[in-house]
């Protein structure tokens, strides 16, 4: 039995999860699968410009694990771009770093919180009728909020 992997913490879900090169017939198109935590590693290091240690801390993993995840992500992106492959962002082993809440009047907001603590009132209209909602989005249907394994998406 392989040791169960520690969940990587992810704070961002890419809005677009499939990239296809132009001008390649679908039949001969190869696909690279980038996991959600690999996308997060790229975001932290290459978009946010964080140091490796900081990025590792945000994802709740060791520096060496972060380095591995990042190297794998870059290798896949390079492979896709240079060899004309599609990129599919999905799956992996992660938990969301935020919870989403909605008030009775329909306002929604995300809270970066490690626990399932429902806020007392809506930050927009101050109503106290607030409920947690599952985080969903294109390519992520059915995902729950909070601690959630990503294998089934």
Binding site for Zn ion (CB under 5 A): 103, 105, 107, 122, 124-125
Q: How far is CA 1 from the centre of its chain?
A: 27
Closest distance to Zn ion from the beta carbon of 122 (Å): 3
Closest distance to Zn ion from the beta carbon of 120 (Å): 12
If the CB atoms of residues 117 and 125 are measured against Zn ion, the closer one turns out to be 125
Closest distance to Zn ion from the beta carbon of 112 (Å): 19
Distances (CA, A) of 94 to 13, 32, 107, 131: 11, 19, 27, 23
If the CB atoms of residues 116 and 128 are measured against Zn ion, the closer one turns out to be 128
If the CB atoms of residues 39 and 130 are measured against Zn ion, the closer one turns out to be 130
């Amino acid at each position: 039995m392989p040791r169960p992997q520690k969940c990587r913490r992810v704070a961002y879900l890419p809005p677009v999860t499939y990239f296809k090169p132009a001008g390649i017939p679908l039949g001969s198109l190869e696909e690279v699968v980038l996991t959600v935590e690999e996308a997060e590693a790229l975001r932290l290091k290459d978009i946010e410009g964080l140091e490796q240690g900081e990025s590792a801390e945000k994802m709740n993993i060791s520096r060496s694990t972060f380095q591995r995840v990042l190297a794998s992500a870059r290798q896949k992106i390079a492979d896709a771009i240079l060899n004309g492959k599609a990129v599919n962002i999905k799956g992996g082993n992660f938990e969301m770093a935020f919870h989403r809440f909605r008030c009775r009047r329909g306002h929604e907001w995300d809270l970066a919180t490690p626990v399932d603590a429902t806020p007392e009132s809506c930050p927009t209209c101050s109503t106290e009728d607030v409920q947690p909602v599952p985080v969903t989005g294109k390519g992520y249907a059915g995902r729950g909020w909070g601690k959630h394994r990503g294998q089934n998406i």
